[in-house]
Amino acid sequence: MSTNSRPYIFVITFLLTLFGFYNYVIYNSNGYVAAEKLSPVAVKGQQLFQDKRCWSCHQIYGLGGYLGPDLTNVYSAEGKGPNYIKAFLNSGVNSMPQFNFSEGEKDALVQYLKQVDETGIFPNYDAKIEATGWVKLKYRNEE
Protein backbone atom coordinates (compact mmCIF):
# COMPACT_ATOMS: atom_id res chain seq x y z
CA MET A 1 0.00 0.00 0.00
CA SER A 2 1.28 3.42 -0.85
CA THR A 3 1.20 6.14 1.74
CA ASN A 4 -1.48 7.81 -0.41
CA SER A 5 -4.14 5.36 0.71
CA ARG A 6 -3.86 6.47 4.33
CA PRO A 7 -6.66 9.07 4.22
CA TYR A 8 -9.04 6.45 2.82
CA ILE A 9 -8.45 4.26 5.83
CA PHE A 10 -9.61 7.10 8.07
CA VAL A 11 -12.66 7.67 5.90
CA ILE A 12 -13.55 3.98 5.90
CA THR A 13 -13.00 3.72 9.64
CA PHE A 14 -15.22 6.73 10.14
CA LEU A 15 -17.97 5.25 7.90
CA LEU A 16 -17.75 1.87 9.61
CA THR A 17 -18.04 3.54 13.01
CA LEU A 18 -21.07 5.46 11.80
CA PHE A 19 -22.59 2.27 10.40
CA GLY A 20 -22.00 0.48 13.69
CA PHE A 21 -23.60 3.30 15.63
CA TYR A 22 -26.59 3.34 13.27
CA ASN A 23 -27.07 -0.39 13.71
CA TYR A 24 -26.76 -0.06 17.46
CA VAL A 25 -29.53 2.55 17.51
CA ILE A 26 -31.81 0.56 15.13
CA TYR A 27 -31.51 -2.75 16.96
CA ASN A 28 -31.79 -1.27 20.41
CA SER A 29 -34.87 0.85 19.84
CA ASN A 30 -37.91 -1.21 20.70
CA GLY A 31 -40.51 1.37 19.75
CA TYR A 32 -42.18 -0.77 17.10
CA VAL A 33 -42.37 -4.19 18.68
CA ALA A 34 -45.84 -5.57 18.00
CA ALA A 35 -48.16 -4.68 20.84
CA GLU A 36 -50.58 -7.45 19.98
CA LYS A 37 -50.20 -10.95 21.37
CA LEU A 38 -52.35 -13.65 19.81
CA SER A 39 -54.68 -15.37 22.24
CA PRO A 40 -54.33 -19.19 22.46
CA VAL A 41 -57.45 -19.62 20.29
CA ALA A 42 -56.08 -17.19 17.70
CA VAL A 43 -52.79 -19.10 17.69
CA LYS A 44 -54.79 -22.21 16.81
CA GLY A 45 -56.43 -20.22 14.02
CA GLN A 46 -53.05 -19.08 12.76
CA GLN A 47 -51.89 -22.69 12.77
CA LEU A 48 -54.90 -23.68 10.66
CA PHE A 49 -54.30 -20.72 8.36
CA GLN A 50 -50.81 -22.08 7.74
CA ASP A 51 -51.63 -25.82 7.67
CA LYS A 52 -54.49 -25.38 5.20
CA ARG A 53 -52.41 -22.99 3.12
CA CYS A 54 -54.91 -20.15 3.14
CA TRP A 55 -51.96 -17.87 2.48
CA SER A 56 -51.30 -19.50 -0.89
CA CYS A 57 -54.38 -17.65 -2.18
CA HIS A 58 -54.93 -14.93 0.42
CA GLN A 59 -52.83 -12.05 1.70
CA ILE A 60 -52.55 -10.70 5.21
CA TYR A 61 -51.12 -7.20 5.50
CA GLY A 62 -50.78 -7.43 1.72
CA LEU A 63 -48.48 -10.48 1.78
CA GLY A 64 -49.43 -13.87 0.39
CA GLY A 65 -51.00 -15.37 -2.71
CA TYR A 66 -53.18 -13.34 -5.03
CA LEU A 67 -55.94 -15.68 -6.16
CA GLY A 68 -58.27 -14.59 -3.34
CA PRO A 69 -58.71 -11.22 -1.63
CA ASP A 70 -56.63 -9.76 1.20
CA LEU A 71 -58.05 -10.83 4.56
CA THR A 72 -56.46 -8.21 6.85
CA ASN A 73 -59.71 -6.34 7.48
CA VAL A 74 -62.32 -8.87 6.45
CA TYR A 75 -63.42 -9.06 10.10
CA SER A 76 -64.39 -5.38 10.34
CA ALA A 77 -65.28 -4.64 6.71
CA GLU A 78 -68.79 -3.40 6.17
CA GLY A 79 -71.17 -6.21 5.36
CA LYS A 80 -68.56 -8.80 6.36
CA GLY A 81 -67.47 -10.07 9.78
CA PRO A 82 -67.45 -13.34 11.76
CA ASN A 83 -70.50 -15.00 10.22
CA TYR A 84 -69.49 -13.94 6.74
CA ILE A 85 -66.04 -15.47 7.26
CA LYS A 86 -67.50 -18.69 8.64
CA ALA A 87 -69.89 -18.95 5.69
CA PHE A 88 -66.96 -18.99 3.28
CA LEU A 89 -64.98 -21.69 5.04
CA ASN A 90 -67.02 -24.81 4.35
CA SER A 91 -68.97 -23.83 1.27
CA GLY A 92 -66.43 -23.76 -1.56
CA VAL A 93 -67.17 -20.49 -3.37
CA ASN A 94 -65.74 -20.14 -6.87
CA SER A 95 -62.04 -21.03 -6.72
CA MET A 96 -61.95 -21.15 -2.94
CA PRO A 97 -61.80 -24.82 -1.97
CA GLN A 98 -64.43 -26.36 0.28
CA PHE A 99 -63.00 -27.11 3.71
CA ASN A 100 -64.50 -29.28 6.38
CA PHE A 101 -63.84 -27.30 9.54
CA SER A 102 -65.48 -28.05 12.87
CA GLU A 103 -67.27 -25.23 14.68
CA GLY A 104 -64.24 -24.87 16.97
CA GLU A 105 -61.85 -24.59 14.06
CA LYS A 106 -64.03 -21.97 12.39
CA ASP A 107 -64.09 -19.99 15.65
CA ALA A 108 -60.29 -20.22 15.85
CA LEU A 109 -59.87 -18.88 12.31
CA VAL A 110 -62.33 -16.07 13.02
CA GLN A 111 -60.48 -15.21 16.23
CA TYR A 112 -57.21 -15.10 14.33
CA LEU A 113 -58.64 -12.83 11.63
CA LYS A 114 -60.17 -10.64 14.34
CA GLN A 115 -56.78 -10.07 15.96
CA VAL A 116 -55.15 -9.48 12.58
CA ASP A 117 -57.83 -6.89 11.89
CA GLU A 118 -57.18 -5.17 15.21
CA THR A 119 -53.58 -4.46 14.31
CA GLY A 120 -53.33 -3.96 10.58
CA ILE A 121 -54.82 -1.79 7.89
CA PHE A 122 -54.65 -2.83 4.26
CA PRO A 123 -53.93 -1.12 2.00
CA ASN A 124 -51.99 1.10 4.37
CA TYR A 125 -50.94 4.37 2.78
CA ASP A 126 -50.25 6.05 6.09
CA ALA A 127 -46.50 5.44 6.17
CA LYS A 128 -43.74 7.80 7.24
CA ILE A 129 -40.01 7.33 6.83
CA GLU A 130 -38.37 8.50 10.02
CA ALA A 131 -34.89 9.92 10.52
CA THR A 132 -33.69 6.60 11.95
CA GLY A 133 -34.65 4.83 8.72
CA TRP A 134 -37.70 3.08 10.19
CA VAL A 135 -40.87 3.14 8.16
CA LYS A 136 -43.60 3.99 10.62
CA LEU A 137 -46.97 2.53 9.68
CA LYS A 138 -50.24 3.38 11.27
CA TYR A 139 -51.67 0.51 13.30
CA ARG A 140 -55.26 0.02 14.27
CA ASN A 141 -54.65 -0.42 17.97
CA GLU A 142 -52.81 2.89 18.41
CA GLU A 143 -55.58 5.10 17.09
Query: Residue from 109, 111, 115, 120 that binds ligand HEC (CB under 6 A)?
Result: 109
CB-neighbour burial class of residue 112 (10 A; exposed 0-12, middle 13-18, buried 19+)? buried
Q: Between the CA of residue 30 and those of 24, 71, 79, 131, what are the distances in Å?
A: 12, 28, 37, 15
- The candidate with the shortest Cα–Cα distance to 103, out of 40, 37, 58, 41, is 41
Rule CB under 6 A: say whether 44 interacts with ligand HEC. Answer: no
Query: Residue from 4, 95, 100, 102 that binds ligand HEC (CB under 6 A)?
Result: 95
Query: Segment contacting ligand HEC (CB under 6 A): 12-20, 24-32, 89-97, 130-138?
Result: 89-97
Binding site for ligand HEC (CB under 6 A): 49, 52-54, 56-58, 67-69, 71, 74, 80, 85, 88-89, 93-97, 99, 109
